[in-house]
Every structure is written in C-alpha cells, then in structure tokens.
C-alpha cells in the first residue's frame, strides 16, 4: 500500500515534467512557425496545449489528495497541515504555502492556455499559433521554476506522525476563495499580454485582433476586483486592527495591476471605436502582466515578512526576477523595433477620447506613485540595511489627490461624445449633476469633519452616483436597444460610487475608543455603550479560545450582543485575535479583546465604522459590471 501511494506521488511529479516538456514543444512549434508556415503547426500546438493542461490538473489533484489525507511522506504536507485541521483548511492548505500556490498559478495559466487552444473565434491560424506560443513560453518558465526551486512532491524519508500545521492567520474560509480569485486575475493578464505580443509579431496589423483583448481583460479585471475586495474583508475581520486597507506592499502589488488593467479596458475601447491608442493599448497589456509578475516577486523574494509572504529562499526571488525581466524587456524591445501603426486623428478637448486619455494618465501616474512607495523601502533596506516605513501618510498625500481629477472626469465621461461634444449640452449636464451632488452630499454628510479629503471624497461619491443615475435617466427611451456592455459600464461606475461612499464614512466619520475594563464594566463608542458581560474559555477542534461576551446598548436601549476572541493554536504555538463584529445594514461596531485576567481586566478596543459595508458591496458591484460587459454579444464572440 505504501509503495502504491509513493507511486501516485511520483506520477504527480512526472505529470508536471510532462507538462513542462509539452510547453517546451509548443514553444518550439511557435519558433519554427516564425521561420516557415506549415498548416499542421496550428493543430500541433493546440493539441500540446490541451494535453498539457490535463497533466497539470492530474498533478494538482494528486497533491490535493495528499493534503486531504494528511500524507506526511511529502514535506509540503508536513510543513503545512495537521490531522486535526478541518477539511476546508486541508483542501485550501494546498495553496497556503509557496510551492502549492505556484502549482495553483500554473494550473490557472494552463487552463487559460487550454481555453485559447479550444477557441474557434480566432480565424487566423498564424495569429492563433503566436498567442499559444507566448502562453506556452510563460508556462514553461513557471514549470521549470516549480521543478527546480519549489518541488511540491519533495519526499520525507522518515515521515512523522503529525504535521506542523497551517499558519493560524490562514485558517479561515477566506483562504479557500481569496487566493484563487486573485490568481485568476493575476494570471489572466497573461492572456492580454500574449494577444498584444502576437499583434506586434505579425507583419500586418488587423485591428479586429484588438477585440480579443477586451473580453479577457474584463474577465481578469472582474476577478482581480473581487479577489482584492475579498482579501480586504478577510483582513478586516481577521487581523483585528479595525481597518480594511493597510498599504502593505503585497496589497499594493495587487492594486497596481488592477489600476493598469482598468486603464487597459478603457484604452481598448478607444482602439475598437476608431483605431486610436494602438501603441498605448499594447504597452498597457505588456505592463499589466509585468506588474502581476512584480507582485509575485515581492511575495516570493524573501524581502518581506508578512502573512502574504511564503518564500524565504532568495534564489526563488532571483528566478522570478529573471522571468519578470524576460517578460518585460523582450516585449519592450520588440515594441521599440516594430514599425508601430500611426493614424492621423484630430483630438478635441471635449471628447470621449480625450477624457479616457486623461483618465489613463491619472491611472498610470497613481500606479507609479504606489510603485515608488512600495519598492523604495525594499530597495533601501537591501542596499543599506536601513529600514523605513512608507504608510498611509505618504499615500494620502500622493495617491488620493491623483484620484480626485480621475473621478471628476469619470463622472462626466458618459456625457462626452466620440470625437466632439456640443459644449452647451455638456455644460448643462455638468451643472445639473454638480448642483444635485452638492445639495445631496451636504444633506447626507453635513460635512461635520475637519478633513478636506473627507469633504471631497463624500462629494465625489455623490457626484459619480448622480452621473450614473442621470445617464440612465437620459437613456430610458432607448433601454432595449442599448448593448449589455453599456449597462456594464454604468454598473461598474455605480460600484465605484458606492465604494467611495464607504471610504468617506469609514475613513472620516469613524469613532474609536480603547480601555482596560473588567467584567460588567463599559466602554463608550460614539452613541453606543459596550459592556463586557463575561469571559469564557473553550476548546474547539484545532485551537483554544478565550471569548469575551459583549452587550451593546444605545441610550440604554438594547442593540445586540457580540463576542471577541483570543485564540491559541497549540500545534503552531501561535496566538491570534478574532474581532467581534456587530453588523448593521451598512455599518459595523467592531470590537477586539486583548490579553487580560479577572483581576486586572482586559484591554478592549471598540470602533464604530459607518458605511464600511459599502466598501466591499461597491467593489463587488464593480466586478458585476465587468461581468455584464463580458457577457455582451460584442465581447462573447471573441472568447
């Protein structure tokens, strides 16, 4: 029996080797196709791509089997699992580490390659071969990276009876959903990248090819939006610091490709409409994937100590840095030497093209701002050993101001026409929503804050909301004739308005209080009182819990009860804080309980976070907008 199990794991290892060999063969077919065109090349590279995916899937399923059954003959399972773990953490524990997460990355990459190979919408066989060739080059590089630096099937000669467990911060249902959704977003940018390089490599540019970029970028953007939002929510309730965004380098690493892909979607729209922004669209597709690789490098280079950071071996970081350099420099060289398309166009200030161009500039500028704030401390520490912290103060002073004109232009973009817009109608529409937004924001927020950004953020959220509402009202007579991607645009903009509404409430109107209290003592938070009624101890599956039971009242009227925990994980010998959250429709009362005892009491922190639910609700509305656009006939026929 033991020999059969070992054979299964050997099959898992061999499957990845075969998948890497098939991707190498596909790369060879692509290279030969550049020299001479043969009809059977198309069939060959499609079959290699399809078969390669199934071998990666076999490898992934075998490793998942090992985690589910606590097979400690594999080092990876020993280091990241335990027999007492609930099933959901055994399953998701596969990607709660470096090796398993890279295998998940390869699985998603090979699946996207499989979908492209199966696509019947790509009419040009030469173009199809080129796209698959680029995908397989990326796949081969990551397979080699896995096999030589991060083998998930490394054996343990003397298997222990128990494993070391999983990082307690990762023992949460969020692990089952957040990383896969984020990875689909990251890896999906490789498809836009491959299509863009394929356009560059073909001698004659067909503008119809840009239509293939749009649906894949929308899919990527929707998953990336959802993955970032889910990660933010997970951090909010799991880490116990009462916030939703910390400007952590790894958080920034996910935000940068999101900003680039947002710019890419808008740039493709202009290219589709009137063949403009050709060069800009190509560059954005290249840098979108480059930034996703940069995020992978930051997490796995060993530069960071973080719940996100899996790798401690710097050689892995060097390998990914090489992949990043190849995937960025070579395409840029091709771009530089390629005779890029030029078209004579007339730009009018008041046009949709100008509005989208300006917003792209603001998105790229904000990305560079985040890039500097993220990399500078890491580079400085690597060179000099000195540690500096770049936190919210830097980003509030740099990133936030850049977003102000971005939102204003977004609010007026629906009223702009292609090429040229009548000034009178534009001015009339602008005055209407400016006035409605001013009155409404004053009524809702009353601007009882000393923060200028608070006032501006509140006003912009309402301005964008009225922009969507007024645009929809003007199109009432033509609702049945409007394409689905137009509705997707409106829904995405509405989601951003809701998100900004949440930012305004949570950032500028929140209340917080901290005190050391004993049982039956009260801590005040805004209009609410929080009473510590009792503290109990529990033993649950894989951890011990010290749970505080709290009663919430307002003006002596009962509101509800919540609990907050201090957890101790015996296997990992680690303590974590579990926040207690009382949910209103849009707001939260958020409580964390620190260490303490009956004699001295417990340190309790309480927050009232108004409109905080709008943050994640708005983000998921944005993702739905992307999916709606993806489902339109204009985009579906290019998948």
Q: Which phi-psi region, left, alpha or beta, contains residue 513 (left: φ > 0; alpha: ψ -120 to 50)?
A: beta
* DSSP summary character for residue 198: H
Burial of 204 (0-12, 13-18, 19+ CB in 10 A): exposed
What is residue 347's three-state secondary structure? Answer: coil
What is residue 551's three-state secondary structure? Answer: strand
pLDDT of residue 481: 74
**CA–CA dist 62, 81 (Å, integer):** 16
- Please say whether the beta carbons of 251 and 298 come within 8 A: no
Q: What is the DSSP string of 425-480?
A: HHHHHHHHHHHHHHHHHHHHHTT--S-HHHHHHHHHHHHHHHHHHHHHHHTGGGGG
Of 188, 161, 356, nearest in space to 288 by CA: 188
The chain-wide mean pLDDT, for the chain, equals: 89
pLDDT of residue 425: 81
pLDDT of residue 1: 52
Phi/psi for 246 (5° steps) reads: -110, -5
Q: Say whether pLDDT at 311 is over 60.
A: no
pLDDT of residue 15: 97
Residue bearing the bigger pLDDT, 309 or 552: 552
pLDDT band at 310 (very low <50, low <70, confident <90, very high): low
Per-residue model confidence as pLDDT tens digits over 417-450: 888 778 788 888 889 999 999 898 888 877 566 6
Beta carbons within 10 angstroms of residue 160's beta carbon: 10
Give the CA dihedral 359, 360, 363, 366, nearest 10 degrees: -100
Give the CA dihedral 87, 89, 92, 97, nearest 10 degrees: -140
Q: Quote the percentage of the chain above a pLDDT of 70.
A: 94
* Mean pLDDT, residues 285-298 taken together: 91
* Mean pLDDT, residues 582-587 taken together: 93
What is residue 124's three-state secondary structure? Answer: coil
Per-residue model confidence as pLDDT tens digits over 71-80: 999 999 999 9
pLDDT of residue 2: 60
pLDDT of residue 230: 95
Q: Say whether pLDDT at 331 is over 60.
A: yes
* Two structure tokens written together for 609: 């976070």
Mark out the alpha helices in 150-248 (DSSP H runs).
Answer: 174-201, 210-238
CA distances from 338 to 200, 201, 282, 326, 342 (A): 7, 8, 12, 18, 12
What is residue 313's three-state secondary structure? Answer: coil
pLDDT of residue 336: 86
pLDDT band at 10 (very low <50, low <70, confident <90, very high): very high
Which of 106-115, 305-314, 527-536 has the weakest average pLDDT? 305-314
Give me the CATH topology for the region 1-171.
1.20.120
* Mean pLDDT, residues 265-284 taken together: 90
**CA–CA dist 237, 250 (Å, integer):** 18
Per-residue model confidence as pLDDT tens digits over 119-151: 998 888 899 999 999 999 999 999 999 999 989
**CA–CA dist 177, 162 (Å, integer):** 26
Domain boundaries along the sequence of the chain: 1-171, 422-509, 511-609
């Amino acid at each position: 029996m033991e020999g059969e199990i070992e054979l299964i794991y050997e099959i898992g290892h061999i499957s990845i080797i075969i998948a890497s060999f098939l991707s190498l063969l596909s790369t060879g077919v692509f290279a030969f196709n550049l020299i001479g065109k043969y009809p059977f090349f198309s069939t060959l590279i499609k079959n290699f791509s399809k078969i390669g995916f199934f071998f990666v899937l076999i490898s992934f399923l075998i490793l998942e089997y090992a985690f589910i059954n606590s097979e400690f003959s594999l080092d990876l399972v020993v280091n990241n699992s335990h027999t007492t773990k609930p099933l959901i953490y055994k399953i998701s524990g596969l990607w709660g580490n470096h090796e398993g997460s890279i295998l998940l990355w390869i699985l998603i990459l090979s699946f996207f390659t499989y979908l492209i190979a199966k696509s019947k919408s790509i009419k040009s066989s030469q173009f199809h071969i080129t796209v698959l060739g680029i995908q397989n080059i990326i796949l081969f590089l990551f397979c080699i990276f896995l096999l030589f630096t991060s083998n998930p099937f490394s054996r343990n000669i003397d298997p222990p009876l128990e494993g070391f467990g999983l990082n307690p911060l990762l023992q949460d249902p969020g692990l089952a959903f957040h990383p896969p959704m984020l990875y689909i977003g990251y890896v999906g940018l490789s498809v836009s990248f491959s299509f863009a390089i394929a356009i560059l490599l073909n001698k004659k540019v067909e503008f119809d090819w840009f239509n293939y970029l749009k649906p894949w970028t929308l899919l990527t953007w929707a998953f990336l939006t959802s993955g970032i939002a889910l990660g933010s929510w997970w951090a909010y309730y799991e880490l116990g610091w009462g916030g939703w965004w910390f400007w952590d380098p790894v958080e920034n690493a996910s935000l940068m490709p999101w900003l680039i892909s947002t710019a890419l979607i808008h740039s493709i729209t202009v290219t589709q409409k009137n063949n403009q922004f050709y060069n800009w669209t190509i560059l954005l597709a290249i840098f979108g994937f480059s930034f996703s690789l940069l995020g992978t490098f930051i997490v796995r280079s060993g530069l960071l100590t973080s719940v996100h950071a899996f790798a401690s071996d710097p050689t892995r970081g060097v390998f990914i840095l090489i992949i990043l350099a190849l995937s960025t420099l070579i395409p840029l060289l091709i771009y530089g030497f390629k005779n890029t398309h030029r078209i004579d166009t007339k730009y009018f200030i008041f046009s949709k093209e100008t509005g989208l161009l300006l917003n792209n500039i603001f998105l790229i500028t904000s990305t560079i701002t985040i890039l500097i704030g993220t990399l500078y401390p890491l580079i400085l520490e690597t060179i000099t050993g000195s540690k500096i912290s770049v936190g919210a103060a830097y980003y509030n002073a740099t990133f936030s101001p850049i977003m102000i004109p971005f939102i204003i232009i977004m609010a007026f973009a629906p009223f702009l026409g292609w090429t040229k817009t009548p000034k009178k109608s534009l001015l009339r529409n602008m005055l209407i929503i400016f006035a409605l937004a001013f009155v409404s924001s004053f009524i809702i927020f009353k601007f009882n804050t000393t923060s200028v950004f608070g006032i501006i953020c509140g006003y912009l959220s309402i301005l964008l909301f009225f922009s969507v509402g007024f645009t929809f009202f003007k199109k009432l007579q033509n609702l049945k004739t409007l394409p689905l991607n137009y509705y997707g645009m409106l829904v995405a903009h509405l989601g951003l308005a809701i998100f900004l509404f949440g930012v305004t409430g949570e950032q500028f109107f929140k209340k917080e209080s901290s005190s050391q209290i004993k049982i039956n003592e009260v801590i005040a938070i805004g209009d609410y009182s929080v009473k510590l009624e009792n503290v109990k101890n529990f033993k649950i599956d894989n951890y011990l819990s010290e749970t505080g039971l709290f009663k919430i009242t307002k003006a002596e009227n009962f509101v509800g009860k919540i609990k907050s925990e201090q957890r101790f994980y015996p296997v990992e010998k680690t303590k974590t804080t579990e926040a207690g959250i009382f949910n209103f429709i849009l707001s939260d009362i958020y409580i964390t309980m620190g260490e303490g005892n009956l004699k001295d009491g417990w340190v309790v922190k309480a927050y009232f976070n108004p409109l905080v639910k709008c943050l994640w609700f708005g983000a998921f509305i944005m993702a739905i907008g992307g999916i709606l656009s993806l489902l339109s006939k204009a985009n579906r026929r290019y998948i």
